[in-house]
Amino acid sequence: MIISIANFKGGVGKSTVTHNLGFALARRGFGVLMVDMDAQANLTMSCNVGFSQLDVSVYELMAAKAGKGDKQLKPEDAIFRFGDVDLIPASILLARADLDFSGAVNRERLLARALKDVVGEYDIVLLDCPPNLGLVTQNALAISDMVLIPTTAEFLPVKGVDIFIQGVQDFVEEIENSDLAIGGIIINMLNKSRSLTWELVNLLKDGPLGELVFESMIPVNVAISEAQAQGQTVYDYNPESKGAKAFEALADEFLKRFTNEGVENGEKESVNH
166: domain CATH number is 3.40.50.300
Number of domains the chain contains: 1
Instruction: Identify the top-confidence range among 2-11, 63-72, 174-183.
Output: 2-11
Task: Look at residue 271 and tell me if it is in a domain.
Answer: no
Task: Look at residue 185 and tell me if it is in a domain.
Answer: yes
Band (pLDDT 50/70/90 cuts) for residue 156 is confident
Task: Look at residue 268 and tell me if it is in a domain.
Answer: no
pTM: 0.92
CB 247, CB 214: distance < 8 Å = no
Task: Look at residue 264 and tell me if it is in a domain.
Answer: no
Task: Look at residue 266 and tell me if it is in a domain.
Answer: no
CB 62, CB 101: distance < 8 Å = yes
Q: Which amino acid is at 51?
A: F
Domain residues for 49? 2-7+10-258
CB 38, CB 265: distance < 8 Å = no
Q: What is the mean pLDDT of residues 135-150?
A: 95
pLDDT for res 54: 86
Instruction: Report the alpha-carbon distance of residue 135 to residue 216 in Å, rounded.
Output: 31
**H or E stretch at 21:** helix 14-27
pLDDT for res 226: 94
